[in-house]
Structure 1
């Protein structure tokens, strides 16, 4: 019996999701409750949390401590770093990123949500939608997170009042929809009491929707294995020196998107040379078909020059190569990014020299206004940059592929990651902004491109 790609993928469906919200909205408590009530916490972990809670004078276990693992976080009672947790239910596997709520840790939220397929944005029912709520909704929209859950927390502190929940849900939904967020689901919860987290609440019979866990288990995961752009960044060229395979030359890497088939015509970028797939090796076994996120080795009919950093794509679906990139970036380093700065640009497995030609604007996430010509970006800033690379790159629009439409800017002196970039990503009408060609770069000590 032959199974389809979708059937094979759904057997081990994985959902990556992130939590975000203002300080003290209860993100870590929600995550702890989710892990505890879904029986995803080991006994020794729960005992450690109980001991830590008692040492702080708390009678009941503080479930937030299941994710606030850093000593500084526990002492301050806040989340500082992105805490990743892995758990599973009979229906689905999960990778959860609990992100900080402080404004100065916006870059951490970008990190946690960059690979997420769903974002849970928490709101304190007493405070409603605040500035940080709008900021997190804007970041989720910018990063093209396809599903957003509004979790209105601490409903127990407003007597589980339906009008309070309805007003907050209406305000947030209107704002997020204006940013281009495609799907918004509002759920009233009490993370501390466990209402509507894993089990339905006995106090909110007016709510007929799913619990948080039910929604996480059933939300469609965006794994279009047949319709997306097929991309294989080459990580390594395999040339085994053996009598059994004297002419073996394979191109190994993890498929970033889409599906590859034996016999398919492919193009190697940036050279533009074409060939056909003669074979696909998967874990030492020859297969006729492979898809994301499998790590495979492709064998081609023709002996052409391919090295690490090249991109193998179907010939009928090859992105244009360019040295002129305009993108939206989030600056993550403590040192600023300035116009004229020389950097390294890492895209998939390829790293090239680049120069920051312009920083046209910086985004004010509070009201989505643009601050023109800021000259530089500092930590947590989101803005537009124009970059000229020394070699051509094949970038997809970030709206089409979050994997091959993203890149990093790196300090060439010490390897520090400076900036996370999204090609073409912008807030216009929920669609990507086309790249514009900036002026050519000037010669400068070997950075003459």
Structure 2
């Protein structure tokens, strides 16, 4: 379903006095999973040969976007032990497998005792897609669900979202691995067991037997759950993605409590980036700026911070002034590592003199980028290098040195054809002294220090 966690309240920038006491921040006041509070149902089969035998299902119990009354109804049956020895009594390959209605023990079929039916909580944002669990109900009665549920084997949204008031999805498997038992059940042969078991509804029962055996030879011939249980965990996990100034502040996490421990007798700035990841692995990031003590204000012409990423697969760097792109990379491209806050661009509105646009080209063959301030080079690339595409992401900088500006040096890697940029004289000297395949190409442009 891929619902990304929400930033419910952006992390606030902080201005802290020198030698102040530690600051603590409860991150659950800033991030939320709109679907769940962290309840996980564990469906354990007797037969572990069926895809490992265990499926973990995240329950959507959060008020608002979730289905809290449906989950509470499901929990009542779980807590009463009603699903112990329950069976998958209906299998329609490519569609659903259904359970929660019957138990099978000592070769006897019994009905799961039902509570009063519940109000339908269908929401199109919780759609009947593959791997979701939804409530079964009586035809032409949207508010008739009791104990029975089904797993969607495919994307059934076009069908099940649009009939009988919509079928209420109240959970989803945690991972692809949790689909394995469900798919294994769906691959079993299906028998009409209505006459054997004296239950007219049991016409599509998956069976796990030899062809010469009878359904009622053993309890294990049907797909039975040893137990279904529910546990509680934190709905989100947090991680400090970046601290731009660890000499100024030490940042630590204790579950959802973020702690800022300030160094003694130090002034300065830091940017802290926090990532929140939900139980299905989807993430969101937010950041805040920290100022400790008396710090000179930023120049009025300071623009966006430039973030520097390293692609661990190719060894090539990517630079971006966009926090949206930064967050996309952090959440979706694990092969990219945020190395540093490289430098600051020039504000194109307040810069005096007016800065120039730095163009960013993507080499479609290698996935590397070229950054240039030169209109001549831009036109040459567009005319002669068809594998280079001009991207919309850009920044502003100076062609000549200005007060408080710093040079950004440019190198060309003769082995890979990629360019490398750095504002650090120390790094420039290391590259020149130790990497003979990097040809210096001078100063690409001038920016501002962090």
TM-score class normalised by the smaller sequence: under 0.3
Which structure is larger by alpha-carbon Rg, 1 or 2?
2
Higher relative contact order (CA 8 A, sep 6+): 2
Greater share of residues in helix: 1
Greater share of residues in strand: 2
Give the TM-score taking structure 1 as reference length. Answer: 0.26
